[in-house]
């Protein structure tokens, strides 16, 4: 399979502009506040067997909402410890306009709790986030022959290893109580290797649950999250 390279992320870029490279243009859909996918309303089941059952009626596995492009979902399952370490396995599911033609890549995400990387509150995309982790995404299983360099704002590395931050909103801002049903909204920041202190961010990276695994109202926690609306990718000819 030909290796495909992301050209430019649609995500909000902080401090510098995106430089287009490669053969793919990426367009993303923002997850709604309800956390439901637009494709879920279609009521059609077209997902291959390797899709987890709980998402088979929610995901757009034929990429019908992507205008001839490809649909991507990333599903993460992981945990944090009381000492501040974070680990997760995140599977990236790729779908074409034929439900039988799909593949899955796997990232390992490892990191530690961190202070907010933004010293200027005006540029902080998530000043209300209660948890911040400095992490690395490492591509551990590659079935899809996709290059993720541009998506992670890192086009100068020899390895599929990308660093950045995960910022999590786990409590309501006004009452400081934990979100109902342990809900969490996740922002991802990717460090631009070519510019010191510059980050690219996905403000609707994922939503799901952050469930405490002790009596503490915070880490250690168990996490499950997904982007319920697809990231749409079209091949440039």
Structure tokens at 156: 């100068």
Residue-wise pLDDT tens digits, 131-184: 999 999 999 999 988 878 767 766 656 667 888 899 999 999 888 999 999 999
Averaged pLDDT, 22-43: 35
Show me where the domains of the chain are located.
Answer: 4-235
Structure tokens at 130: 């209660």
Cβ-in-10-Å burial (0-12, 13-18, 19+) of 186 comes to: buried
Residue-wise pLDDT tens digits, 154-168: 665 666 788 889 999
Averaged pLDDT, 41-55: 76
Beta-carbon contacts of 132 under 8 Å, excluding residues fewer than 6 positions away, are 113, 114, 115, 116, 117, 165, 166, 167, 168
Residue-wise pLDDT tens digits, 80-105: 999 999 999 999 999 987 656 789 99
Structure tokens at 24: 């793919």
Average pLDDT of the chain, as a whole number: 77
- Contact between residue 230 and residue 64 where contact means Cβ atoms under 8 Å apart: no
**What does DSSP say about strands 199-212 and 221-226: parallel, antiparallel, or unpaired?**
antiparallel
The pTM for the full model equals: 0.79
């Amino acid at each position: 399979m030909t290796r495909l390279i992301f050209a430019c992320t649609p995500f909000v870029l902080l401090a510098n502009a995106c430089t287009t490279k490669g053969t793919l243009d990426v367009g993303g859909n923002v997850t709604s506040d309800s956390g439901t996918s637009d494709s879920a309303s279609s009521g059609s089941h077209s997902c291959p067997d390797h899709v987890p059952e709980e998402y088979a009626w929610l995901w757009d596995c034929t990429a019908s909402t992507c205008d001839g492009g490809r649909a991507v979902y990333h599903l993460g399952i992981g945990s944090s410890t009381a000492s501040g370490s974070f680990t997760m396995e995140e599977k990236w599911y790729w779908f074409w306009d034929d439900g039988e033609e799909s593949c899955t890549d796997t990232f390992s995400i490892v990191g530690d709790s961190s202070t907010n990387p933004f010293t200027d509150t005006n540029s902080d995309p998530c000043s209300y986030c209660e948890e911040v982790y400095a992490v690395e995404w490492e591509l551990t299983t590659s079935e899809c022959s996709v290059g993720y360099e541009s998506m992670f704002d890192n086009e100068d590395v020899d390895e599929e290893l990308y660093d950045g931050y995960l910022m999590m909103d786990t409590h309501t801002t006004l009452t400081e109580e934990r979100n109902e049903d342990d809900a969490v909204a996740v922002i991802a920041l990717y460090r631009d290797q070519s510019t010191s202190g510059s980050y690219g961010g996905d403000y609707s990276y994922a939503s799901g649950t952050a469930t405490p695994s002790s009596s503490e109202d915070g880490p250690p926690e168990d996490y499950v999250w997904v982007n319920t609306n697809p990231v749409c990718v079209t091949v440039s000819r």
